[in-house]
Amino acid sequence: MKPQDQKPKRTLKLKISEEIHFKLIGISSHENDYRLVWAINNKLAFQFVRTDSLTIHREALQSDLSFNRYTYTDEDKYLTFNLISNNSTEGFLFPGLKNLDYLIQVTGDILDGEMADLLRNLKSVEVISACFVLDPAKIKGIRNTLQE
């Protein structure tokens, strides 16, 4: 067989993408985390409680950053909500989201209608200036930072 008679080699590429199995809400509020949690608990009948802080090691800073975290589990709907501060005295959890003060990570199967209701209810909380759903896949470093 002559070289010109040979067919070019086909290359197949396997692309593996890690799916993110949680939803994310960004919140802007000038209140301290405990006052925000109190307001959300009262308005939405949630039961956020303070849990261990989220600690992230930043290699560039050669230090650990600690972010306040509150958790609420809705056992009836099999949903877990983590309210996490986006900033600390050392820096931001997600530097690309400096306009956001807090994040709510929703883990579990939440329907789109339930998510819309949650967002509408959060917007009615007086100490929240703004809130909206974020696309976790577009946030740099989220897979390494927020676990499911």
As a whole number of angstroms, the distance between CA 83 and CA 35 comes to: 12
Domains in the chain, CATH or no CATH each: 22-143 (3.30.310)
For residue 10, list its beta bridge partners: none
Tell me which residues of the chain have a pLDDT lower than 50: 16, 148
CA distances, 138 to each of 24, 31, 70, 92, 117 (Å):
11, 27, 24, 17, 23
Rounded to whole angstroms, the Cα distance separating 48 from 46 reads 6
Q: What is the pLDDT of residue 143?
A: 65
**pTM attached to this predicted model:** 0.83
